[in-house]
């Protein structure tokens, strides 16, 4: 704990930190869904060029997570066993993004309420990580079938670093 913070302020900080971690893992899952959709398209010949995959990425990321999930399930009928997990993660993500702090405003005022929030936010992180972990091997299998291994992934990461990981934050 930071010596300049009260125990209550530290507790509140922990709630916001875990909320941020939960939203981060929700976005990791969303990105994993997009990756699987695009690499499935590469695997089946829908996308044949880098420009086509980039256009697909851009188009998919302009959609809601629900619409991306729907595209994945249409494209990969072998994933119907994950439909419930994906829907649960989607509903949780939407609740966190749109309603969480409004619904938990009274709980956030008391230590016991914040403890409860920390417990549920840890569970949210766990759920997003578990669902994403079910998708990663499917994407990895497509990459390996296309001859894309660890060395190629390292090269791609280097290219991202060289591009400075993207544009500045909007409005700053």
List pLDDT tens digits, range 35-70. Answer: 999 999 998 999 999 899 999 999 999 999 999 999
Sign of the Cα torsion 75, 77, 78, 80 reads: positive
Asked whether residue 170 is domain-assigned, the answer is no
Asked whether residue 1 is domain-assigned, the answer is no
Q: How many angstroms separate the CA atoms of 7 and 1, rounded?
A: 8
The length of the chain is: 172
- Structural domains counted in the chain: 1
Per-residue pLDDT for 2 more than 70?
A: no
pLDDT of residue 66: 93
Residue 24: pLDDT band (50, 70, 90) is: very high
Residue 125: pLDDT band (50, 70, 90) is: very high
Asked whether residue 167 is domain-assigned, the answer is no
Do residues 104 and 117 lie in contact, with contact meaning Cβ atoms separated by under 8 Å? yes
Residue 165: pLDDT band (50, 70, 90) is: low
Asked whether residue 172 is domain-assigned, the answer is no
Q: How many angstroms separate the CA atoms of 62 and 64, rounded?
A: 7
Range of 128's domain?
7-162
Asked whether residue 168 is domain-assigned, the answer is no
Sign of the Cα torsion 164, 162, 36, 28 reads: negative
Do residues 115 and 12 lie in contact, with contact meaning Cβ atoms separated by under 8 Å? no
pLDDT of residue 33: 96
Asked whether residue 29 is domain-assigned, the answer is yes
Question: How many C-beta atoms surround the C-beta of residue 169 within 10 A?
Answer: 6
- Those residues with Cβ within 8 angstroms of residue 1's Cβ, 6 or more apart along the chain or in another chain: 7, 10
Asked whether residue 150 is domain-assigned, the answer is yes
Asked whether residue 141 is domain-assigned, the answer is yes
């Amino acid at each position: 704990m930071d010596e300049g913070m009260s125990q209550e302020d530290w507790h509140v900080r922990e709630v916001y930190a875990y909320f941020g971690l939960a939203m981060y893992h929700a976005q990791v899952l969303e990105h994993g869904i997009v990756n699987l959709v695009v690499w499935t398209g590469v695997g089946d010949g829908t996308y044949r060029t880098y420009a086509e995959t980039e256009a697909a990425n851009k188009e998919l990321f302009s959609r809601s997570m629900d619409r991306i999930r729907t595209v994945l399930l249409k494209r990969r009928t072998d994933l119907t066993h994950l439909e419930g997990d994906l829907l649960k993660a989607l509903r949780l993500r939407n609740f966190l993004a749109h309603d969480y702090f409004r619904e938990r405003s009274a709980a956030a005022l008391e230590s016991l309420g914040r403890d409860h929030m920390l417990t549920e936010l840890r569970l949210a992180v766990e759920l997003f990580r578990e669902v994403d972990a079910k998708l990663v091997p499917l994407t990895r299998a497509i990459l390996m079938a296309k001859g894309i291994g660890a060395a190629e992934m390292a090269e791609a990461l280097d290219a991202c670093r060289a591009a400075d990981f993207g544009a500045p934050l909007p409005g700053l």
